[in-house]
Structure 1
Amino acid sequence: MSDKVVDRTIENNPEEPVSNFTSNRYFADIIQARYSRRTMLKGSLGAAAVTFLGAGLVGCGGDSDNDDDNGGDGGDGTPPRLSFDAIATSRQDAVVVPEGYTAKAFVPWGTPILGSYPAYMDDGGNTGADQSMQVGMHHDGMHFFPLEGSSEHGLLVMNHEYVDQITLHPNGPSEGPRPLDEVRKEMAAHGVSVIEVQKSSNGDWEVVPSALNRRINAFTVMALRGPARGHDLVKTAFSPEGTRTRGTINNCANGFTPWGTYLTCEENWPGYFHVRMDPQPRHLARYGVTGWQGYHWYDVLDEDSDLYTRFQPSESGDDATQDFRNEPNGFGWIVEIDPHDPDAMPIKRTALGRFSHEGVVFAEPKVGEPMVFYSGDDARFEYIYKFVSKNLYQEGMTGNDLMDEGILYVARFNDDGSGEWLPLSMGDDGFVAKMNAAVGTTVGSIEFDEPFADQGELLINTRLAADIAGATRMDRPEWGAVCPRTGMVYFTLTNNSNRTEDDTDAANPRAANQVGQIIRWQEDGAASASTFQWDLFALGGHLEGSEQEGRSLVADAALTAENIFSCPDGLWFDGRGLLWIQTDMSGSMQDGSSDHGDFGNNQMLVAEPDTGLIKRFLVGPTECEVTGITMTPDHKTLFVNIQHPGDRSEPGDFTSHWPDGGSSRPRSSTVVVTRDDGGEIGIA
């Protein structure tokens, strides 16, 4: 296989290399200080958490003045209760759901949605032009925007994280320099799809031919706003003023706003750029910008357009306005898209920081208070962030009012169960003092030879600023979710294979942590508070009695055959306060060949946060990741994304044929889940 081809198996799917070499404390060290290993393994933290957080904060249940607005089960303040029978683990090449439910594939990769509506070709023969009019590859984060409040008609907007070259092209990627149309097709398959969908008279969902349907991809022109707009470090030959960039890539989890826009998050973007600068400047080196995704989009046969050569940045011109040395600095942001206006230019909101954003969620907006957004940096030993808007929320405000100015904070978790939000601001005396003290030293592996000049440079160097602030190094913070009843924030910490025996602790009591956990916290007062209280909700892992036992800590119970899980990734609260948990396990964990466990195919579970009850609701097909979730306002249609089924496939030798069956090539797809009796999903 050519060195231009990446091994796309789940086992070896490119993961961002570790780039945090600071001495900041590990989250592991903190939990070890707070709870003994024995306490964590035997589940006593469930009781300890009641004392720690207070009985009223243990779950997401409890009274609320807004139960009707939040989708409560009757407005009486009673938390919803799960009514289905948990399903078993599965290795079927199929989506499995509980008895009384039906799951149907919908809008798989290659579904035509605009333009000339080119039909999907199962032999991989669609062109790059075709792909720009079709649903992208590797569905991920997703949101349903109802049209006129309808639960049967709306815009389904979804991310497309990356591509499998093996299945995208007829016979996998070509050897040597890349044929132009192969690269066009890969770039067009990235990004976001906006799809108008409607429930038909027979109950099935269908794509509506609509002027609102849209593909946003690695070619799409986007605006830069916020403190980095116009900065010298984002100026390129394409945008000498530093106000625009082209494309969005590696779009993983998502968010949405009260004003009706979609937020897509750029995760493993450093793997797309093959930098020709040695040494790399700090704004690249701290992110590990090394081209490890292996697409080699810069190396196109008989083509030297900067649409492609920009992915090999170098200092070839007299200054940054004459080359693409700064091209990577246009990536790593949260991108805002207006799905209701197909002509609206997407906006990269630089005030929210530059890192490997897994997703973004916001606290319930309250008139007269700042808007608060949370986001995780999905890499080993990276951080959790919070953005607090400068302006106070008022009805009718938009992203231009609330996402361009504010303060970005990074989390520090203390031994006693408290936490602090550390400001990353040139206007904060405490941060400036730390920054000035760091000048002339090595921060991790980065020579910090001069202070940041301004807030724009700080945000382009968000990771380095967080290092200086003294944040807590976490185990791959991924999706977040905010409980609609209490405002408690939950985050998945998927795993960390780089943890050593010396780092084992109560929250991660395993060396080479492969199974992950879920953390949560409650702000001390308003969402914009500078301090919080934290504990753990659940540990992934094996069945009871094992060294790597999984536990529901609130329920103070070991995981059982009904809810054993590993590598929690996707996380989402529905409006009723149920917590949905999705997993992204390695291939060997799914097929039982790993020492780390035997969990069947990747899955989705649902939890009652107040009781800690967790049940398995869905299992995906062979070698997929279960990721992305949204629901109609009436809670009767659930949309779930299935990414990269058949991830160990080779050209002509597909390990999955889902969803089309037969000998077809596998296709990422959305799944529509409904209850056979027409009731709400998950509850009686």
Structure 2
Amino acid sequence: MPLDRRIFLQSGAAAVVALLQPHGASASAAPPQDGRPVLGFTAVPASLRDAVVVPPEYEWQLLYPWGTPTGIAGHPMPAFAPDGSNSAADQALQAGMHHDGMHFFPLASPDRGLLVMNHEYTDEQLLHADGSKEWNAEKVHKSLHAMGVSVIEIRRTRDGWRQVRPSPYARRVHGQTPMRIAGPAAGAAPMRTAADPAGDEVLGTFANCAMGVTPWGTYLTCEENFHGYFGGPKESAKDTTPAQRRYGTVPGSQWVEYWRFEERFDISRHPNEPHRFGWVVEIDPFDPTAKPVKRTALGRKRQESATCTLARDGRVVVYMGDDARFEYIYKFVSHGKVSMAGDGSRACANSRLLDEGTLYAARFDADGRGRWLELVHGRNGLDAGSGFADQAEVLIHARLAADAVGATKMDRPEWIAVHPQTGEVYVTLTNNSQRGDPGKPAPDAANPRAGNRFGGILRWREDDGDAGSSSFGWDHFALAGDPSQTDSGARYPSDDADVFGSPDGLHFDGGGLLWIQTDMSGQLIGKPPYASLGNNQMLCADPATGRIKRFLTAPAGSEVTGCVVTPDRRTLFVNIQHPGESRDDGSATPDSAWPDGAAPGSARPRSATLAIRRRDGGIVGT
């Protein structure tokens, strides 16, 4: 085992031990920390300011904005060009756009670590010097390089956290990085293309949203809205299959014109290429030479979250959401057990665990009970007669398989977090304005509001406190919105909870505090019925007491995402995504110049990573 991976696992020993403990105990109020009560910080009011606002006891530091050199050893370190003139080659060596999920991996001391983060999508108007009116191959390559994953090395100094450049660990994984395909779908006929007749190699990962971390110290990045990058001539849309329509890979519906300049994105010519995206991708952050691996046993969908825990017998369990209206919550349970041996490489010892196991979809019943429904060929009607030739097709078309077994259609399931002491599982359901529309599913017990504008947080407890169980009990932790609006249907676990809407990011720290991040659309922020909620925000909750306090408000038009707390709980890393975005398609003039400009139009807004600390160095959340 490499030294730094061993130190990471030792630093995270408490978390690993918690994973191995039987779960199911009731949560108790978190004890005071550093002599201060939890949630003792001064709550931040809702705000429409174009600024990052944190409690007065805290300070934030700009760490890694879009365009910052990644610091890859032996390579140039091109500086960010404020006019958008960086080349595609430059962008492959810089921070990507629209930072999202991330994790901190400690190195040789608590003051050194690897920060690994996703870059979800691109704003082509900002990415290129002349916008996106005219497409060319260089713009396609730059756009692909602006997504994916960054691995950077950071260290804590007297003045705060600083990036280490160059670093032997630093790496960019992007839309043109070679990677392997593994698991039951590798080599299957629907995965084969002209460029890859074997169906086990693929070029790139993109649309990287939420994430997960394995017990053996690797990073899981999730390919979410991959469908928008595939296209083709509109007239070829008449030939699309039901499966293509179910996944949104239909010619003429693309967001960008990749297909005109990079042939593999033309669905009419290469219909199998989209099957190679929408997976959970495993990356070894400690080895920049290791090829990333797409783990097909976890199913193909618009991946949102790949949260790992352990079953009582030591098998790895991965919880996943599919972030779209009326989609599903999934669970994967490995066949083998995690190797926690103290010698050798745990990454190698556990390299097949995510390739062999059972995928399930969740059904939430009206009585507060639920079941995990197997997505296994030959069971629950998943056979050739229902359109699934083998297990590879079940996984490639996991959405259709979940349809067939009768899983519960949810209101945009996104991030999933597991309580480190009790094992309770929490999921954000961001919203679903179409719930109850004509021809759409009506409200149900798990998704109780028609025209669900504000979303909420649902939680479940696996039977016998075992994550490998086939059944569970569930309830709503919070139904978001403004309770003063009588038709909002909002319900919080305590009367003094600070209100929020459209929860998205979710993270438990080692003390059992739940960090909640929101993603209201830029089109809706500041407008009825969302006006009282202000800009997007981050809150901190103590699940045992139900208290929820607003901790941070974000710049205009931005989303708050990618929360992770260091093992010593003295630094909170947070991502501010797409500041200034006032339209979902990014076509409007940004209404922010954060973090570089004083007023809209004075600078290109940049997504960025923040490091947040108490001014006195104490534990965050107090």
**Structure 2 length normalisation: TM-score?**
0.88
Report deviation, 1:209.
Answer: 1.2
Q: In 2, are the aligned partners of 1:412 and 1:422 still within 8 Å (CA)? A: yes
In the alignment, which residue of structure 2 is the partner of 1:568? 503
Which residue of 393, 405, 424 maps to 1:469?
405
Cα pair 2:368 2:473 within 8 Å, conserved: yes
1:265–1:127 Cα change, 3 Å: same
Alignment partners' CA distance in 2, 1:482 and 1:422: 20
- Asked if 1:413 corresponds to 2:374, the answer is no
Q: Provide the residue aligned with 2:289 in structure 1.
A: 343
| Alignment-derived partner of residue 16 in structure 2 | none
| Deviations 1:53-81, CA, capped at 9 Å, x for gaps | xxx97964379xxxxxxxx8679xx9972
Structure 1 residue 119 and structure 2 residue 76: aligned?
no
Partner of 1:580: 515
Supply the distance in 1 between the matched residues of 2:217 and 2:229 (Cα, whole angstroms). Answer: 30
- Structure 2 CA distance, aligned partners of 1:566 and 1:183? 35
For these two proteins, the number of residue pairs brought into alignment is: 578
Query: What is the CA distance between 1:91 and its match in structure 2?
Result: 1.3
For residues 612-623 of structure 1, what are the structure 2 equivalents within 5 Å? 612-623=546-557
Structure 2 residue 110 is matched with structure 1 residue 151: yes
8 Å contact from structure 1 (residues 551, 558) kept in 2: no
Q: How far apart, CA to CA, are the structure 1 residues paired with 2:309 and 2:354?
A: 14
1:528 deviates by 0.5
Q: Deviations over 1:387-427 (max 9, x none)?
A: 00001222145442310100000000111111000001125
Q: Distance in 1 between matches of 2:179 and 2:165?
A: 26
SS state of the match for residue 598, structure 1?
Answer: helix
Amino acid at match of 1:516: G
1:204-244 deviation digits (Å, cap 9, x = unpaired): 42333112111111101110000001111101122111111
Find out whether 1:664 has 2:621 as its counterpart.
no
Whether contact under 8 Å (1:412, 1:420) holds in the other structure is yes
Which residue of the partner structure matches residue 126 of structure 2? 167
Q: Which moved more, 1:619-628 or 1:544-553?
A: 544-553
1:489 corresponds in structure 2 to 425
Partners of 1:588 and 1:458 in 2: CA distance: 37
- Structure 2 equivalent of residue 393 of structure 1: 338
Residue number in structure 2 paired with 1:87: 44
Out of 205-214 and 520-529, give the one that drifted further: 205-214
Superposed CA offset, 1:647-667 (max 9, x none):
138899541111112311100
Letter in 1 for 2:604: R
**How far apart, in 2, do the equivalents of 1:74 and 1:82 lie?**
10
Partner AA of 1:346 in structure 2? P
Deviation at 1:365, TM superposition (A): 6.0
Structure-2 change in CA distance of 1:85 and 1:505 (3 Å): farther
Counterpart of 2:492 in structure 1: which amino acid?
Answer: S
Report what 1:498 is aligned to: 434
- Is the Cα–Cα contact under 8 Å of residues 410 and 446 in structure 2 kept in the other structure? no
Of 346, 361, 382, which aligns to 1:435? 382
Cα distance in 2, alignment partners of residues 405 and 509 from structure 1: 36
The equivalent residue for 2:247 is 287
Contact 1:589 1:598 in 2 (8 A): no
Distance (Å, rounded) in 2 between the aligned partners of 1:382 and 1:131: 34
Q: Which amino acid aligns with 1:124?
A: G
CA distance in 1, matches of 2:587, 2:480: 34
Q: What residue ranges of structure 2 are gaps of 5+ in the alignment?
A: 1-22
Q: Cα gap change, 1:455/1:509 in structure 2, threshold over 3 Å: closer, same or farther? A: closer
Hey, what's the Cα distance between the residues in 2 that align with 1:79 and 1:200? 25
- CA shift for structure 1 position 270: 1.3
- Structure 1 residues 269 and 157: alpha-carbon distance in aligned structure 2, compared to 1, 3 A threshold: same
Tell me which residue corresponds to 1:137.
97
Structure 2 CA distance for aligned equivalents of residues 570 and 181 of structure 1: 33
Q: TM-score normalised to the size of structure 1? A: 0.81
196 and 470 in structure 1: CA distance in 2 versus 1, 3 angstrom threshold:
same
Q: Which amino acid aligns with 2:593?
A: H
Distance 1:247 1:170, change over 3 A: same
Q: CA deviation at 1:298?
A: 1.6
Q: 1:504 Cα shift?
A: 4.4
Residue equivalent to 1:536: 476
In the other structure, the counterpart of 1:255 is 212
Q: 1:59 to 1:615 in 2, by over 3 A?
A: farther
The letter for the 2-side match of 1:340 is F
Contact 1:83–1:682 under 8 Å retained in 2: yes
Deviations 1:482-504 (A, max 9, x none): 00011000000000011126834
Instruction: Give, as a single letter, the amino acid of the residue that structure 2 aligns with 1:209.
Output: P
Q: Quote how far apart the aligned CAs of 1:536 are.
A: 0.4
CA drift at 1:185: 1.0
Whether contact under 8 Å (2:506, 2:514) holds in the other structure is yes
1:547 maps to which residue? 487
Distance 2:558 2:137 in 1: 29
Q: Tell me, in whole angstroms, the C-alpha distance in 2 between the residues paired with 1:233 and 1:508.
A: 34
C-alpha distance in structure 1 between counterparts of 2:564 and 2:101, whole Å? 9
Alpha-carbon distance between aligned partners in 2 of 1:513 and 1:403, rounded to the nearest angstrom: 35
2:580 to 640, 646, 651: 646
Task: For residue 359 of structure 1, give the secondary structure of its aligned residue in structure 2.
Answer: strand
Tell me if structure 1 keeps the 8 A contact 2:154–2:161. Answer: no
Amino acid at match of 1:550: A
Equivalent of 2:167, from 199, 204, 210? 210
Does the residue aligned with 1:421 lie in a helix, a strand or coil? strand
Change beyond 3 A, Cα 1:508–1:170: same
Establish whether residue 679 from structure 1 lines up as the match of residue 618 from structure 2. Answer: yes
SS of equivalent residue, structure 1 residue 535: strand
Shift in alpha-carbon separation, 1:461–1:510, aligned structure 2, 3 A: closer
CA RMSD of aligned residues (A): 2.4
Q: Against the structure 1 CA distance between its residues 566 and 507, is the aligned structure 2 distance closer, same or farther, given a 3 Å change threshold?
A: farther
How far apart are the structure 1 equivalents of 2:616 and 2:522? 35
Residue 52 (structure 1) aligns with: none
Matched, 1:600 2:534: yes
For 1:61, which of 11, 15, 28 is the aligned residue?
A: 28
Cα distance in 2, alignment partners of residues 140 and 671 from structure 1 = 12
Match of 1:358, SS state, is strand
Alpha-carbon displacement from aligned partner over 1:556-586 (angstroms, at most 9, x marks no partner): x374xxx110000001101110000000002
Aligned match of 2:11? none
Deviation at 1:588, TM superposition (A): 4.3
Match of 1:39 in 2: none
C-alpha displacement at 1:454, in angstroms? Answer: 1.4
Match of 1:334 among 258, 280, 293: 280
Whichever residue aligns with residue 87 of structure 1, its letter is: V
**Letter aligned with residue 374 of structure 2:** P
| Map of 1:611 onto structure 2 | 545
Q: Which amino acid aligns with 2:575?
A: N
Using CA pairs under 8 Å that are at least 6 residues apart, name the structure with larger relative contact order, 1 or 2. Answer: 1
Task: Write the distance in 2 (CA, Å) between the matches of 1:271 and 1:329.
Answer: 13
Query: Which residue of the other structure, out of 469, 478, 499, is the alignment partner of 2:414?
Result: 478
CA distance in 2, matches of 1:489, 1:374: 9
Secondary structure of 1:673's aligned partner: strand
Report if the CA contact (8 A) 2:364-2:446 is conserved.
no
Aligned-residue sequence identity (percent) comes to: 50
Per the TM alignment, residue 457 of structure 1 is displaced from its structure 2 partner at its CA by 1.4
CA distance, structure 1, for counterparts of residue 534 and residue 33 of structure 2: 36
> What's the offset of the Cα at 1:280?
2.1
Taking the aligned partners of 1:508 and 1:598, their CA distance within structure 2 comes to 24
Instruction: Provide the C-alpha distance between the structure 1 equivalents of 2:43 and 2:29, rounded to a whole number of angstroms.
Output: 24
Q: C-alpha distance in 2, partners of 1:74/1:106?
A: 27
Write the distance in 2 (CA, Å) between the matches of 1:676 and 1:479: 29
Q: Contact 2:240 / 2:250 at 8 angstroms: preserved in 1? A: no
